[in-house]
Structure 1
Amino acid sequence: MTLTRRHFLTTTMAFTAVSFLAGHALADTSSIYAEDGVALGGTDVVAYFTQGQPVAGSAEITQEWQGVTWRFASADNKAAFAADPSRYAPQYGRYCAYAVSEGYTASTTPEAWRIVDDKLYLNYSIGVQQRWAQDIPGRIAAADANWPSLRE
């Protein structure tokens, strides 16, 4: 079969469009770490800000955002999240802030958390969080620099 210029251009354009759309479809979920499609194992992210602790969310009170399900302990928390999800969502897609500062990703536990400058940061464990807390501004700066390449 002879490849004509028209066939080549059509094929190239189709491939580019499919690649672009596939990349954008994956982008919604690739940056949020969620086990079984549920963010934070079902922990209510708004509760960190309002109650100062991790609180289990309800399977009946949920919101879809960034391709995953977020659970909430109350309708008020769900409404707050729905109004401004990026305000409550953990930094670095819920991956460990310490790990991201080191250039890799790791899962987190709801108990290892801290709010800094009105942003939620999670860590792999309480022990890792203690290491992260030794230089929070430096760790956040390093993680912010590393995150764009890790989220893809």
Structure 2
Amino acid sequence: MKNFALALATAAVTAFAVPAFAGEQYIDGTGFAVSGYDVVAYRGLPQSAVGTAQQAGVKGNAAITADYNGSTFAFSTEANRDAFEKNPAYYAPQYDGHCAYGVSKGGKVPGNPNLWRIVDDKLFLNITKNVVGFWEEDIPGNIDLAQNNWPGIEGKDASENKIPDFTSAAPIKN
């Protein structure tokens, strides 16, 4: 039994240690990664308890930008841009800005910059409040599933994947 528990603990640690492979970020109609929101600013925002809404992200300034993985990121301050340029992989969202729960279900759909959470020092986005409810039911398990699914869907265009059904979970509380 001790060996099983040790193996399970090792698998959990390994799952969180595996990086989400960096590729081109999801870009929407704004022309910016993360819809033009400042990815460095999330690190300074207080996180709400699981099951409650997070504070809205901070919009970036189109005049303060940096390029990473074929995409342009916008920042609210030059200091945030400079921090990003020193370590962009640390600040960029997981799964190239796609919905973390969608990736856990094998799909590739956009992430919403106002539906975020930092887990194990990594930024995750989700698509809708209902999806956040699903994702938060088992964050470690969903991250593990997403880590395993991501290599098979990373290079695909989002239109190649069926959007998973996200309609049956209760929404998070505001």
Bin the TM-score by the shorter chain.
0.7 to 0.9
| Number of the residue aligned with 2:119 | 116
Question: Pick from 37, 41, 57: which aligns with 2:35?
Answer: 41
Query: How many residues of Structure 1 are paired with residues of Structure 2 in the alignment?
Result: 124
| Number of the residue aligned with 1:129 | 132
Superposed CA RMSD in Å reads 1.4
- TM-score, reference length from structure 2: 0.68
Does the alignment pair 1:93 with 2:87?
no
Larger radius of gyration: 1
8 Å CA contact retained: 1:111, 1:126: no
Amino acid at match of 1:49: R
Q: Which has the higher helix share?
A: 1
The C-alpha deviation readout for 1:78-126, integer Å capped at 9, x for no partner, is: 0110000000100001000000000011112111110000000000012
| Number of the residue aligned with 1:51 | 45
| Number of the residue aligned with 1:17 | none
- After superposition, the Cα gap between the structure-2 partners of 1:95 and 1:134, relative to the gap in structure 1 and judged at 3 Å, is same
**How big is the shift at 1:51?**
2.9
**How big is the shift at 1:50?**
1.7
The runs of 5 or more residues in structure 1 that have no matched partner are 1-26
- TM-score, reference length from structure 1: 0.78
The runs of 5 or more residues in structure 2 that have no matched partner are 1-21, 47-54, 156-174
Distance in 2 between residues matched to 1:74 and 1:55, nearest whole Å: 10
DSSP-derived class of the 2:59 partner: coil
Does the alignment pair 1:60 with 2:47?
no
Amino acid at match of 1:44: D
| Number of the residue aligned with 1:107 | 110
Using CA pairs below 8 Å that are at least 6 residues apart, which structure has the higher relative contact order?
2
DSSP-derived class of the 1:59 partner: strand
- Could you list the runs of 4 or more consecutive aligned residues of structure 1 that deviate by over 2 angstroms after TM superposition? none
Distance in 1 between residues matched to 2:32 and 2:113, nearest whole Å: 13
Distance in 2 between residues matched to 1:103 and 1:130, nearest whole Å: 18
Q: Using the aligned pairs only, state the percent identity.
A: 45
DSSP-derived class of the 2:62 partner: strand
**How big is the shift at 1:43?**
0.3
DSSP-derived class of the 1:38 partner: coil
Does the alignment pair 1:149 with 2:152?
yes
**How big is the shift at 1:28?**
4.9
Distance in 1 between residues matched to 2:108 and 2:67, nearest whole Å: 23
